Structure 1
Amino acid sequence: MNSSNNAKAYAKIVENGVQAVQEVNQLRSTGYVYENIFVLAHDGNRTERIADTADANEVGIKEEGMFDALANLFRSRGDELRAKITSFGFTKAEADFYEKELDLGKVLVIAKKAE
């Protein structure tokens, strides 16, 4: 289960930042816009570096909702990542799966459908 499609978002686990950049470029070439493409890694600094390189976004307050973002201040990084993932419409089980993959050093690329 490397990727998941649902009504809200597309997600794909990749091995590293290079593959994340390639995935972002692929998504952009198929019509996804910059504002709707996000990357997540377990290490917040790594997420920022990959997002900058890929010209993608980090998941922020707008996507999560203000309450969830404030709640993340009191959560571990794993809980924070699962909250970010479920904010895109993924189930708790999917979020658990993706977070475990991130824990192994992989990177998650998420693309929202245009609203």
Structure 2
Amino acid sequence: MENVKIVENGVQAKMVIEQFINQGYKKEEVYLLAHDKDRTKHLSDTMDINEIGIGEQGVVNSIANVFRSRGDELRSKMEALGLNTLEAEQYEEELDRGRLVVVATKKTSDIY
């Protein structure tokens, strides 16, 4: 179960993250993506939320991302969070425009 929001900046991202947490998501279930890796890391660290890593993608995809273009890497990460290919492509286009994508997803083990 994913919930995705597109925002323009870090202030809006913080508000959306707080909304997700108020809706019952845990901080470790909320992810922020920016087209620039450094911006993603900085904002994720500042807002104390997860970055998409091996736990979400698996070892093979994590290693493969080293060799992918940034767009391919971002789409792969979004698909690892449960978005389908078309959704990942649409959100990656938003990232290309300088926007941020905030994804909240319930861990499978938490659903059942």
TM-score normalised by L of structure 2: 0.91
Q: Give the paired residue count.
A: 108
Work out whether residues 15 and 107 of structure 1, in 8 Å CA contact, stay in contact via their aligned partners in 2.
yes
1:92 corresponds in structure 2 to 85
Q: How far 1:28 moved relative to its partner?
A: 1.0
Structure 1 runs of 4+ off > 4 angstroms?
none
Q: Using the aligned pairs only, state the percent identity.
A: 48
TM-score, structure 1 normalization = 0.89
Match of 2:6 in 1: 13
Q: What residue ranges of structure 1 are gaps of 5+ in the alignment?
A: 1-7
Take 2:86 and 2:20, find their aligned partners in 1: how far apart are those partners? 25
Residue 60 of structure 2: aligned partner: 67
Cα separation, 2, equivalents of 1:91 and 1:112: 13
Matching of residue 54 in structure 1 with residue 56 in structure 2: no
Pairwise CA distance, 1:53? 2.2
What does residue 35 of structure 2 align with? 42
Q: What's the Cα RMSD here?
A: 1.0
Structure 2 unaligned regions, length at least 5: none
Secondary structure class of the residue paired with 1:63: helix
